[in-house]
Structure 1
Amino acid sequence: MRWRLPGRTAWRLGPADRDILWLYLSTRIGIWLTAYCARWLFPANSATHDPGPSLAPFQHWDWDHFLHIAQQGYFPGQAGPWLPDWDNREAFFPGFPLVLRAVHVLVPDWALAGLSVSFVSGAVAVLALARITREHLHGTAAGRRTVLFFLVSPCAVFLAVGYTEALFLALALPAWLAARRHNWPAAMALTAAATAVRISGLFLAAALATHFLLSLRATRDWRALPWLALPALPPALFSWYLQVHTGDWTAWKSAQERGWYRTFHTPWEAWANTWHNAFGQTQSTGYAFMFQAELVVMLVGVALFVVLARERRWPEAVYVALSLCALGTSYWYVSIPRAALLWWPLWIILAGWSLRSPRFRTAYLCAVAPLSTVFALTFLSGRWTG
């Protein structure tokens, strides 16, 4: 078997791809309009006459960490986790800040540079998602439906801000396509890049390794085996870098524990702690609501794993299972709704159901579109709590 770089036709945009990009652009316009409204209707000071900078709605929470890493590095001056007010920035992988710093050379405004990274990455991701869907369900309608369900999902706003989700998917989904074509060097190189962006890249690497082992029954070709180790290189180098500066090989995990309570707990303990914070009236309503969302999406993830296992889609099942294990064994659930954006089999399965039942499509859109608007407004107005 020969391994070849994708030819020119692999990157050529056909009519179906242009429809996907038009859908993507249309939803971006919707989010930008929502951001404009949020800036005027929900300012930090309700009595103000000035809505603030036009890009302010996009600059919240994790964006500050990425920005500081891109501008200053991980340990500026003598700063580090030994300081009492340290921001635990080493909890974030370097991929996105490195790309942000590179794009900033061309786009001087940092916020606009971050939005540009996510905008271009999101376009690549939805094109790849549509192509993966067409291989599963066949037909251009299936690809368009999957992308629609994905782009109007509750946490889709994170694809439009300076966060890692869009960049990760822009690497992970083409990696999946390359693996399905048995182009293992390309698949593993893209996966390695994805692991530099998010720890989820290691879950993808495990899924692709599963796919490789299953494909051996047909190909009997072991030559690609060494490539499977490539995705471990970026996390290993990052751990080494952090060890040099902190003396701790697990500095990334330590920062997660300090800043986000990601200490190991059994799944039932994590569920119980999240449930208590969701319904025990120990949190303010905003935080309690987000804990409720965490619980719901965890159940969705478990159901997704069951469906994938029943359909014997083992690589995808491995990917989702590892994600659930990582997210479901902390003190409490954190950022599971955002992580669901990365479960691309979910959107393909939902699209398949909707193609068989128009009522399901209507129910999904009527239920999810308002949630997507609420979540977008929550983030863009600075009220996001999860």
Structure 2
Amino acid sequence: MVERVTAGAASTTIRPAVRVALVYLLARLVTTGFFLSASAIAPADARHGRDATLGTYVLAWDAQWYWLIAFQGYPVDLPLTEAGQVAENAWAFMPLYPVLSAVVSLPFGHWGVGAFLVTLAAGYGCALVLHGMFRERLGEGAALWGVVFFSAGPLAALLQVGYAEALFLFFLLLAIRCVQTRRYGWLYALIPLMGYTRPGVLAFGLFLALFGLWRLTRREVEPVTRHDVIHILSLGALATVVGFSWQVIAAVVTGDPAAYLDTELAWRRLWVGDSGGFVPFEGWVQGAAFWFPRWGLPAWTGVIALLGIVAAVAALLLFEPHVKRLGVEVRLWSASYLVYLLAVFFPQSSTFRLLFPLSPLAGALAVPASRRWRIGVLVACLIGQWLWVYNMYTLGNTFWRIP
């Protein structure tokens, strides 16, 4: 009897893993086809040239910075522009992904192979965790469709290029899953892993604060124990410390207290010039002043549009029934991350990539059981993915085609 139960449990675990793997690998073949098509039709002025290889695309854009970190580390002396301002440099990128990719690449002798394998494996891990999250809340059919939308979505190319997004998302999804199941102990490892993979762990700290407040409002339904309070407060503090630690590390190594923030602002200066130091939430106001006049509209309409988008997203997270079925943890994370982006980011073409940590919301699109609806969403995902690949990799030759 014990052997039968054990075998049945193993079979139950294996079958979803295989189904998810088949979906994920099929989606990767589609993305590979998009990359090959992107290379075949690239014009002479394409950023990556004509007839770029798949390896070229794996190592394109920010992957170059990760490669540089893997082999040269971080600069002790910050590079400066001709005007004496801090120039773009490696301190804007976290170390875990490039170092892990370098370790994985040792048998192959090429960092790009390691980066590709780390991203590919992390993406499958994301799909597997998402399937578990969706299945619990939405049922098996919707769960698999949610994985389809994630694996083939507009940003699915990030699942096979040298970017840290997939690895960060894997750690993040595991962390959200731990909160859902109240297994807080694992978060003491996952939070530092997130924090040194890419920026965003401060949003997780905000998420824990909101989650703790939500638990207090429901303490009659789910009692808040001393164990809960200690873990939520400790983990929130850990996320905050880890989130700010990179600024301290950069300051100690370079001797410049503003090394990290000045490095991040070096990218913003490419768009709006020197606008002083970092001010939270200022970037989106600057973005309105930058973008809307270029579209023939006054800058103030951008501020109105931003407020409208914030209100619409808030209503979506609070009231939309399909989103509500994903659970309060996913909704609180999504709200926290969007607040974080509003606080620290300047809106430009990379905004789409930075929305990748909101991938759990893909499950809401799978809730309607209509086959026509789901096929329509999949077609829209593939069209969006091709447009993203075409603009960022086939062309990539203007300031608004930067992934």
With the shorter chain as reference, the TM-score category is 0.7 to 0.9
SS in 2 for 1:202: helix
Distance in 2, Cα, partners of 1:330 & 1:179: 25
Cα displacement (A) at 1:303: 3.7
Q: 1:255 aligns with which of 253, 260, 263?
A: 263
Q: 2:390 aligns with which of 372, 377, 381?
A: 377
Distance in 1, Cα, partners of 2:310 & 2:159: 19
Determine if contact 1:271/1:328 at 8 Å carries over to the other structure: no
Determine if contact 1:188/1:228 at 8 Å carries over to the other structure: no
Distance in 2, Cα, partners of 1:55 & 1:301: 39
Equivalent residue number for residue 211 of structure 1: 211
Cα displacement (A) at 1:159: 2.0
Distance in 1, Cα, partners of 2:80 & 2:29: 44
Question: How many residue pairs end up in the alignment?
Answer: 361
Distance in 1, Cα, partners of 2:295 & 2:351: 18
Q: 1:80 aligns with which of 78, 81, 94?
A: 78
Equivalent residue number for residue 162 of structure 1: 162
Cα displacement (A) at 1:95: 2.4
Equivalent residue number for residue 350 of structure 1: 365
Q: 1:325 aligns with which of 339, 345, 370?
A: 339
Determine if contact 1:155/1:375 at 8 Å carries over to the other structure: yes
Q: 1:111-136: per-residue Cα shift (whole Å, max 9, x none)?
A: 11111110010010110011111122
Alignment-mate amino acid for residue 72 of structure 2: Q
Q: What is the TM-score with the length of structure 2 in the denominator?
A: 0.78
Cα displacement (A) at 1:243: 0.8
Equivalent residue number for residue 6 of structure 1: none
Alignment-mate amino acid for residue 368 of structure 1: C
Q: 1:319-351: per-residue Cα shift (whole Å, max 9, x none)?
A: 333333343356840322112221134212111
Distance in 2, Cα, partners of 1:107 & 1:323: 37
Q: What is the TM-score with the length of structure 1 in the denominator?
A: 0.81
Determine if contact 1:298/1:324 at 8 Å carries over to the other structure: no
The aligned runs of 1:1-386 (5 Å cut-off) are 13-42=13-42, 44=44, 51-75=51-75, 79-82=77-80, 84=82, 86-137=87-138, 139-215=139-215, 217=219, 218-223=222-227, 224=231, 225-261=233-269, 263-264=278-279, 266=282, 269-270=285-286, 272-273=288-289, 275-276=291-292, 279-280=295-296, 303-310=312-319, 315-328=329-342, 332-334=346-348, 335-352=350-367, 354-355=368-369, 357-381=370-394, 383=396, 384-386=401-403
Larger radius of gyration: 2
Alignment-mate amino acid for residue 99 of structure 1: L
Q: 1:52-97: per-residue Cα shift (whole Å, max 9, x none)?
A: 554112222111111111110111xx64234648432211122222
Cα displacement (A) at 1:191: 2.5
Q: Which runs of 5+ in 2 are unaligned?
A: 1-8, 270-276
Distance in 1, Cα, partners of 2:116 & 2:102: 13
Distance in 1, Cα, partners of 2:121 & 2:52: 26
Distance in 1, Cα, partners of 2:242 & 2:186: 16
Cα displacement (A) at 1:228: 3.6
Determine if contact 2:134/2:142 at 8 Å carries over to the other structure: yes
Cα displacement (A) at 1:35: 2.1
Determine if contact 2:45/2:395 at 8 Å carries over to the other structure: no
Change (3 A) 1:141 1:270: farther
Change (3 A) 1:129 1:350: same
SS in 2 for 1:55: helix
Alignment-mate amino acid for residue 306 of structure 1: A
Q: Which runs of 5+ in 1 are unaligned?
A: 1-8, 282-291
Distance in 2, Cα, partners of 1:11 & 1:254: 53
Distance in 2, Cα, partners of 1:67 & 1:187: 28
Give the RMSD, CA atoms, in angstroms: 3.5
Q: 1:18-73: per-residue Cα shift (whole Å, max 9, x none)?
A: 11111001111112222223233326579xx9835541122221111111111101
Distance in 1, Cα, partners of 2:112 & 2:339: 33
Cα displacement (A) at 1:154: 1.4
